[in-house]
Chain A
Amino acid sequence: MRVVIAEDHFLLRDGLVRLLEAHGHSVIAAVETGPAVLDALIDLRPDVAILDVRLPPTFTDEGLQAALAARREIPGLPVLILSQHVEQLYARELLADGHGGIGYQLKDRVTDAEQFLDALERVAQGGTALDPTVIAKLLGRPARADPIATLTERERSVLALMAEGLSNTAIAGRLFLSEGAISKYTTAIFTKLDIRTDDDTNRRVRAVLTYLDSGPSGPR
């Protein structure tokens, strides 16, 4: 894959480049600042981009803003956002356009190279890879009178794993259930959430988005 990296810490940037190249990916740009990354994303159109939320010059949320801006230009441009902290607020903003191809993970996750590369792969293919911490925060929210509230306990946990970006096979492995059973749950979820589309990846993204929007303070 052709990858763009935006990370201002030299050690992390260098480590990421090495990790990716060791696994046969090519890093076509490794930049440090918000404006530079936006240019790189739009000019180079990578297969996937890895962005730090906080970048120079202002050290606020340039990375996130660059990702959103680039995806307005190139809908569905796969972006994996890395941060020292994860917020539901940012997850919503990233997923709001409904195009998928979004990853949002804690920086710690790069220490587990295999899982990290897996997540990157999923994002590049248009899936989602949300950090389990975001999912845990979502699960902590109160159930409300919305479609999410009609899901059973089991369906909710399947949806949570779907949000992490796991495939049915992987979910089956985590929950110690058969793949057939998971398939039934996902169909039930899509029906209850009224998601009708044939493309499975897109369906999964939409389900996660509905999940995120079920909170009381969703984007207005």
Chain B
Amino acid sequence: MWSGPSRWLRDTAVGYWRSGVLVAVAGLIPGLTAAVAVFGLSFSRSWSAHLHAPLLVRLVTAIGEWALAALWTAAGFGVAMAVLGRPTAQFLRRHGGRWLGAELPSPYRPPRPITKMSTGYWWNGHGYHETERQAKIEGWFMDRSLLAMRSADGDPQLRRDVVWQAVAAATVVPVAALPLLAGAGAIYAVTAQSMLWVALFAVASVAAAPFAWRTLSPVASRYLAPNPNATAEEQVARLNRIRADLTQTQAAELERIERNLHDGAQARMVALGMNLSSAERLVDTDPEQAKQVLREARASSKIALDQLRTLVRGINPPVLVERGLVDAIRALALDAPIEVDVRSTLERRPERPVEAALYFAAAELLTNVVKHAHATHATIELSHRRGVVSIVVSDNGTGGATATPGSGLAGIARRLAAFEGQVDADSPAGGPTRVSLTVPCELS
């Protein structure tokens, strides 16, 4: 669409615009800081401007004035960073990222929740406060203030933002300023009626315009992009989430087993014991009645066994123990009320915990197919490639399976996440559905 001169024209115009934006945004805090430094210094120096005193006194005074100016400058920089640091950096992440065709996600920690403690105080992640408002203000400030930079619970991105500003002030801002300064020089030269300088400045300005803003690229990818340590932090957060899920699932599972035993087999055994003792009592006086009671006892033991069998199947299916994943899934397929083909290239068994997780996931997928897909045929394929075991369950049903939170698919994904596993569902409305489970795992 853009070619030749028109393209160059566009690049140049865009270059001027972007250079201007860069200088204004990236140069804002350095500019403010420099202004504070210059005015601060000239202000403090003015106090001793007319001082007539011995050299030593003047020297001490000068040091004090410089130190004061430095303090003001640091304070100015700190306030500017707290107020403008995040908005300017975010602005360049959003727009600069777009210019460079790169995704620069926000690297900041989400604001911490402000919670009321049982003591009545408010906790914002940094400290306790009497009112929620105070806690909010302090929390906002501590998330941004350079004072929190060295504290253990400060956002590590704060330090990186300072480095970004320092590097930008030394590289991006002066380079991006080149076409603008040269342009200004050309305009000044016009007023000075020096055509040679006009020409020189104009050429330099126009030549630099398409390229100057691109110094943003290497700097942005190093200092604006998320901190590699932040991804480690995310990793920790993810692992914590998985652990929480796991412990919760485990607790729920134990509870289910306990309830099942308590209401089922255990209760049956009590009834059985009672039946037997009454049979013992009746056997001499009323043998017929005793026989009847014993028959009931046997029926009761049969039911208890059935309940235990169902329970065991849900904890650790016997076929899985005896035969491993592939045959266990074959057994599932045989019991399904629809046609299920099982194909496998697995030669050995996955590690036991992974095996069980995959089995239950596949069983749940198959149950979903039978219950919801209105399918007449399903296929389950098992394979192992490059250290990853995958099970693909596909059916010829009506599709529309989604992994919305709370759905079965989301549950499977959560449970497999404990093994670094994944669930990918392809289920357009109208079908067919294809769900794949993948878990990194060595075979034994």
In the complex with contacts A215-B334, A217-B334, A144-B339 CB distance below 8 A: yes
Beta-carbon contacts of A114-153 to B below 8 Å, as 1s and 0s? 0000000000000000000000010011101000000000
B338 touches A61 (CB 8 A): no
Q: Can you pick out 19 interface pairs between chain A and chain B where the beta carbons lie within 8 Å of each other? A: A54-B318, A83-B318, A84-B312, A85-B319, A89-B334, A92-B334, A108-B302, A108-B305, A112-B298, A137-B335, A141-B334, A141-B337, A142-B337, A144-B339, A216-B333, A216-B341, A217-B330, A217-B333, A217-B341
A81 to chain B, nearest CB (A): 12
B333 touches A60 (CB 8 A): no
Beta-carbon nearest neighbor of B327 in chain A: A89
Beta-carbon contacts of B311-355 to A below 8 Å, as 1s and 0s? 011000011011100010011011101111110000000000000
Beta-carbon nearest neighbor of A219 in chain B: B330
A111 touches B298 (CB 8 A): yes
CB of B10 closer than 8 Å to a CB of A: no
What CA separation (Å) do A144 and B330 show in the bound complex? 18
B322 touches A111 (CB 8 A): no
Residue total for A at the interface (Cβ-Cβ under 8 A)? 25
What CA separation (Å) do A53 and B322 show in the bound complex? 9
List residues of chain B with CB within 8 A of the CB of A89.
319, 323, 327, 330-331, 334
Report, as a range, how many residues of chain B touch the other chain.
20 to 34
What CA separation (Å) do A107 and B330 show in the bound complex? 23
B331 touches A87 (CB 8 A): yes
A84 touches B318 (CB 8 A): yes
Partner-B contacts on A (CB < 8 A): 53-54, 59-61, 64, 83-85, 87-89, 92, 107-108, 111-112, 137, 140-142, 144, 215-217
Beta-carbon nearest neighbor of A88 in chain B: B334
Beta-carbon nearest neighbor of A140 in chain B: B337
A135 to chain B, nearest CB (A): 13
CB of B301 closer than 8 Å to a CB of A: yes
What CA separation (Å) do A92 and B331 show in the bound complex? 11
Interface SS of chain B: helix, strand, loop or mixed? helix
B184 to chain A, nearest CB (A): 81
Partner of B340, one of A54, A61, A108, A217: A217
CB of B112 closer than 8 Å to a CB of A: no
Beta-carbon nearest neighbor of A107 in chain B: B305
Partner of A87, one of B302, B334, B342: B334
A60 touches B322 (CB 8 A): yes
B322 touches A88 (CB 8 A): no
List residues of chain B with CB within 8 A of the CB of A84.
309, 312, 318
Beta-carbon nearest neighbor of B342 in chain A: A217
List residues of chain B with CB within 8 A of the CB of A92.
334
A1 to chain B, nearest CB (A): 25
B323 touches A216 (CB 8 A): no
List residues of chain A with CB within 8 A of the CB of B318.
54, 83-85
List residues of chain B with CB within 8 A of the CB of A83.
318
6 shortest interchain CB distances as A-B pairs? A216-B339, A61-B322, A88-B334, A89-B331, A60-B322, A85-B318
Partner of B309, one of A85, A87, A217: A85
What CA separation (Å) do A115 and B309 show in the bound complex? 21
Beta-carbon nearest neighbor of B336 in chain A: A141
List residues of chain B with CB within 8 A of the CB of A140.
335, 337
List residues of chain B with CB within 8 A of the CB of A61.
322-323
A56 to chain B, nearest CB (A): 13
Residue of A88, A92, A217 with most partner-chain B CB within 10 A: A217
What CA separation (Å) do A156 and B292 show in the bound complex? 35
B340 touches A216 (CB 8 A): yes
Beta-carbon nearest neighbor of A60 in chain B: B322
Beta-carbon nearest neighbor of A216 in chain B: B339
A63 to chain B, nearest CB (A): 10
In the complex with contacts A89-B334, A137-B334, A217-B330, A142-B339 CB distance below 8 A: yes
List residues of chain A with CB within 8 A of the CB of B313.
85
List residues of chain A with CB within 8 A of the CB of B340.
216-217
Partner of B321, one of A59, A64, A107: A59
What CA separation (Å) do A173 and B85 show in the bound complex? 90
B45 to chain A, nearest CB (A): 89
List residues of chain A with CB within 8 A of the CB of B341.
216-217
